[in-house]
Amino acid sequence: MPELPEVEVVRAGLEPAVTSATISSVEVLDERGITRHDRSIGELSAMLTGRRMLGAARRGKFLWLPIAGDSDASAPKALLIHLGMSGQVLLREAGEPAGRHARVRLVLEHPQHGELAVHFVDQRTFGSLAVDTLVPTIDGAAGGLGTDLSLVPSQVAHIARDPLDPAFDDKGFLRALGMRRTTVKRALLDQTLISGVGNIYADEALWAARVHYEQPTQTLSRRKARELLSEVRLVLQKALAEGGTSFDAQYVNVNGASGYFAHSLNAYGRQGMPCARCGTTMVRASFMNRSSHFCPHCQRVR
């Protein structure tokens, strides 16, 4: 599943193409591509056609494109995008036909770039688009990266801020982490505690901080917890600089290009290989219907 770096690469690629662009047409090619949309508030196509987009924002693994409001002073709204496991948002020429797994196609008219199209492609159909109402943020800060508005889609309001968000509260996170009665990797994957971190980057940060994935959160010292948060932030920044992690053709940026961080991984997918730090053979263990990758020498339960 795309994690924060992959989603941020998509957001950054979309931003110049959608900001100030008017949606001239919307074609829902497969209803599975709009499962998050609440039809009781209106049809997605009708709610978007003719509307002007104001930018591209992100919190954790969620993207949204705020749209200019109606003259009737209705609640502000945004086009919400969740990539699921295999979703792709691709910029294309306006006349380019939709591919096999395209679910939704938007045609835009940009004041500088002219006509272009946005294709939402999703092979496994776990991703979705939706028009969602924007609600005030709890802390009064901007909703996420890429927006100055202190608003966030209602479907994202329960998601915690991510470590690259300027409004992320380090002290609040460390306090909440210490109060949890769980294990550290489960805490890192809890999107209501810290968002944007998935299996890949949790494994990478835990390896870098020398913390076992089953270490109880309440036993982490404040110093080690701060170190772990620092490593989470660092690995996300490194992955972002390399365009994210691509293991197959499912994750690509808006131009269809893959990321390169897979070549820089120290833990995830390296079972049977020597630890880059101590040479001990890396191990893969079953964890929450997925896997954890770690060094049994460097990462011990303390």
Residue that terminates a domain, selected from 127, 153, 179: 153
Does residue 43 carry a pLDDT above 80?
Answer: yes
The mean pLDDT of the chain is 92
77 is catalytic: no
Q: Is the pTM of this model over 0.85?
A: yes
Domain-located, residue 140: yes
Q: Directed axis angle between helix 222-241 and helix 170-179, to 10°?
A: 120
Looking at the structure, tell me whether residues 14 and 54 fall in a common domain: yes
**Residues 124, 73 share a domain:** yes
- Residue 235: CB atoms within 10 A of its CB come to 28
Q: Are residues 110 and 145 in the same domain?
A: yes
Q: Across residues 193-210, what is the average pLDDT?
A: 96
* One-letter-per-residue 3-state SS of the chain: CCCHHHHHHHHHHHHHHHCCCEEEEEEECCHHHHCCCCHHHCCHHHHHCCCEECCCEEECCEEEEEECCCCCCCCCEEEEEECCCCEEEEEECCCCCCCCCEEEEEEEEECCCEEEEEEEEECCCCCEEEEEEEEECCCCCCCCECCCCCEEECCCCCCCCCCCCCCCCHHHHHHHHHHCCCEHHHHHCCCCCCCCCCHHHHHHHHHHHCCCCCCEHHHCCHHHHHHHHHHHHHHHHHHHHCCCCCCCCCCCCCCCCCCCHHHHCCCCCCCCCECCCCCCECEEEEECCEEEEECCCCCCCC
Of the listed 124, 290, 300, 302, which one is catalytic?
A: 290
Phi, psi angle pair for 38, to nearest 5°: -90, 105
Spatial CA neighbour of 63 closest among 203, 249, 254, 250: 254
Q: Is residue 234 part of a domain?
A: yes
Q: Classify residue 35: in a domain, yes or no.
A: yes
Domain end residue (candidates: 153, 178, 206): 153
Where does a domain end: 98, 126, 153? 153
Assess whether pLDDT exceeds 80 at residue 145: yes
27 with 148, same domain: the answer is yes
- Percent over 90 (pLDDT), the chain: 79
Residue 215 lies in a domain: yes
Mean pLDDT of 135-141: 96
CATH number of domain containing 221: 1.10.8.50
pLDDT at 75: 86
Per-residue confidence band for 125, with pLDDT thresholds at 50, 70 and 90: confident
Judge whether residue 213 has pLDDT over 70.
yes
Asked whether the predicted pLDDT for residue 262 surpasses 70, the reply is yes
Q: Are 118 and 98 a contacting pair, CB within 8 Å?
A: no
- Please write down the long-range contacts of 178-181, taking CB distance under 8 Å and 24 or more positions apart: 178/217, 178/218, 178/220, 178/222, 178/225, 179/218, 180/217, 180/218, 181/216, 181/217, 181/218
Grade residue 268 by pLDDT with cuts at 50, 70 and 90: very high
Instruction: Give yes or no for residue 23 having a pLDDT over 70.
Output: yes
Q: Mean pLDDT over residues 125-131, rounded?
A: 93
* 147 and 17 belong to one structural domain: yes
Q: Which is catalytic among the residues 2, 66, 153, 163?
A: 2
Q: What pLDDT was estimated at residue 296?
A: 97
Of the candidates 266, 243, 265, the one whose C-alpha atom is nearest the C-alpha of residue 256 is 243
Active-site pick, 36, 61, 105, 161? 61
The encoded tokens of residue 285 equal 């263990």
Q: Is 198 in the same domain as 129?
A: no
Q: What is the CATH number of the domain that holds 102?
A: 3.20.190.10
Judged against a pLDDT cut of 70, whether residue 188 lies above it is answered with: yes
Looking at the structure, tell me whether residues 36 and 149 fall in a common domain: yes
Query: How many whole angstroms separate alpha carbon 243 and alpha carbon 13?
Result: 11
Question: How far is the C-alpha of 162 from the C-alpha of 280, rounded, in Å?
Answer: 32
pLDDT given for residue 118 in this prediction: 96
Confidence (pLDDT) at 74? 74
pLDDT band at 250 (very low <50, low <70, confident <90, very high): low
Q: Is-contact 88 121, C-beta < 8 A?
A: yes
Read off the pLDDT band of 251 (50, 70, 90): low
Is 3 in the active site? yes
> Do residues 175 and 281 both lie within one domain?
yes
Residue 78 has pLDDT above 80, yes or no: yes
Would residue 290 show up in a list of annotated catalytic residues for this protein? yes
157-173 residue pLDDT tens: 999 999 999 999 999 99
Closest of 58, 12, 16, 55 to residue 164, by C-alpha: 58
My answer on whether 83 and 136 are in the same domain is yes
The domain tally of the chain equals: 2
Whether residue 92 sits in one domain with residue 43: yes
Whether 51 is in a domain gets the answer: yes
Residue 163 lies in a domain: no
pLDDT of 71 higher than 80: no
In a domain, 42, yes or no: yes
Separation of alpha carbons 292 and 53, rounded Å? 40
Is 162 contained in some domain? no
Over residues 20-35, mean pLDDT:
96
* Cβ–Cβ < 8 Å for 235, 204: yes
Average pLDDT over residues 52-77: 88
pLDDT of residue 46: 95
What is the average per-residue pLDDT within 94-98?
Answer: 88
Do 148 and 181 lie in one domain? The reply is no
Residues 219 and 148 in one domain: no
238 is catalytic: no
Q: Residue 253's pLDDT band (boundaries 50, 70, 90)? A: low
- Amino acid identity of residue 47, one-letter, is M
User: According to the model, what pLDDT value does residue 80 have?
Assistant: 98
pLDDT band at 264 (very low <50, low <70, confident <90, very high): confident
pLDDT at 73 over 60: no
Domain region containing 83: 4-153
